[in-house]
Amino acid sequence: MKRHHHIHRPHVKYHGLPLSWGGSKSATPSILAEVDASFGDDQGVLERLPEQEEVNKTASKTTTVPPMRQDGKHPGQGFQGIYHVRFPVVNEWACALMCAGHAKDGCCSYKDNAQRVGDENDGDNYEEDTGLCEFQEGHVSVDVSEADEWSSAECFAGYETSKCPAWKRGKCSGPSKMGAASMGLPIWELVWEDHFDHLTCVPDSSGIMRPNPHYWTAEVGYKRGKELQWYQPQNAVCKDGALVITAKRERAKPADPKCELTNYNPGASDPELNDAACSVCGPPDFKHLGCCDLVQNDAAGTPVCDCSASAEYTSASLMTRGKQEFSYGMLEMRAKIDTRPGAWSSLWSVGDIEGVAWPKNGEIDILDAYQGMLKASVVHAGESGLPSEAVQHAAAIATTPEWEQVFHTWTLEYERDFVSMRVDRQEIMRLDLSVADPVRTTWPNPFKADNKFFLILNLAVGGHSGGDPSESDFPVKFEVDYIKYFQKKSRTERHPALAVYGFSEIV
192-238 pLDDT, tens digit each: 999 999 999 999 999 999 999 999 999 999 988 789 999 999 999 99
| Whole-number Å distance between alpha carbons of 381 and 388 | 9
Does domain 2-15+190-252+311-490 correspond to CATH entry 2.60.120.200? yes
Q: Collapse the DSSP code of 326 into the 3-class scheme (helix H, G, I; strand E, B; otherwise coil) and give the result.
A: strand
Question: What local confidence, expressed as pLDDT, does residue 114 receive?
Answer: 65
Amino acid at 196: F
Residues of the chain predicted below pLDDT 50: 11, 13-88, 120-127, 177-182, 495-507
Nearest CA-CA partner of 456 in 255, 256, 225, 298: 225
Question: What local confidence, expressed as pLDDT, does residue 312 receive?
Answer: 92
Pair 7, 317: CB distance under 8 Å: no
Tell me how far CA of residue 283 lies from CA of 5, 280, 287, 452, 458, in angstroms: 21, 7, 9, 34, 20
Tell me how far CA of residue 198 lies from CA of 241, 407, 456, in angstroms: 7, 20, 22
| Whole-number Å distance between alpha carbons of 66 and 59 | 18
User: What DSSP state is assigned to residue 71?
Assistant: T
| Whole-number Å distance between alpha carbons of 26 and 221 | 65
CA atoms within 13 A on the CB side of 435: 25
Question: What local confidence, expressed as pLDDT, does residue 72 receive?
Answer: 36
Pair 103, 161: CB distance under 8 Å: yes
In angstroms, how far is CA 242 from the centroid of its own chain?
23
| Whole-number Å distance between alpha carbons of 464 and 286 | 12
Neighbouring residues of 355: CB distance < 8 A, sequence distance ≥ 6: none
| Whole-number Å distance between alpha carbons of 437 and 440 | 6
Please give, one letter per residue, the 3-state secondary structure of 365-401. EEEEEECCEEEEEEEECCCCCCHHHCEEEEEEEECCC
Nearest CA-CA partner of 245 in 264, 229, 262: 229
All CATH 2.60.120.200 domain ranges in the chain, comma separated: 2-15+190-252+311-490
| Whole-number Å distance between alpha carbons of 61 and 56 | 8
Nearest CA-CA partner of 446 in 370, 377, 353: 353
